[in-house]
């Protein structure tokens, strides 16, 4: 199962997200759940960089692990754009989860203190 964890600041804005695991929906190369999650999450990171000029801290491993952390020190107007892009990612991932919930689980975590 693919595990997606969205980490939110106490204010509710997205600080980071991680994706790990495998969907096991179909054989490698034919797994539409894996492909969808990868396209949405990597597409969001690429959009953040291309549209705002901000490069998130990214860690990616061959076993299906992806981590993305948004820098803390960015202008408010830029952060607003980033948040819109990341919230769009969440909507897309939730849509995948609604249809393929046996293969993907999304968890939200909120910081206690900022």
Residue 22 known to be catalytic: yes
- Please, which residues have CB within 8 angstroms of residue 6's CB and are 6 or more apart in sequence? 14, 17, 90, 106, 107, 108, 109
Residue 49 known to be catalytic: no
Rounded Cα gap, residues 17 and 69, in angstroms: 7
CA 61 to chain centre: 15
CB 102 within 8 A of CB 51: no
The catalytic residue among 7, 34, 68, 103 is 34
**Tokens found for residue 96:** 């995948």
CA 52 to chain centre: 17
Q: What are the residue numbers of the active site? A: 22, 34
């Amino acid at each position: 199962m693919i595990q997606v964890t969205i980490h939110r600041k106490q204010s509710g804005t997205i600080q980071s997200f991680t994706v790990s695991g495998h969907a096991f929906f179909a054989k490698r190369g034919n797994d539409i759940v894996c492909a969808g999650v990868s396209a949405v999450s990597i597409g969001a990171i690429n959009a953040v960089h291309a549209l705002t000029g901000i490069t998130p801290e990214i860690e990616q491993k061959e076993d299906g692990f992806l981590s993305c952390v948004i820098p803390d020190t960015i202008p408010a107007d830029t952060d607003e754009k980033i948040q819109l892009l990341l919230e769009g990612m969440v909507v897309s991932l939730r849509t995948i989860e609604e249809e393929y919930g046996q293969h993907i689980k999304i968890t939200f975590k909120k910081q206690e203190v900022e």
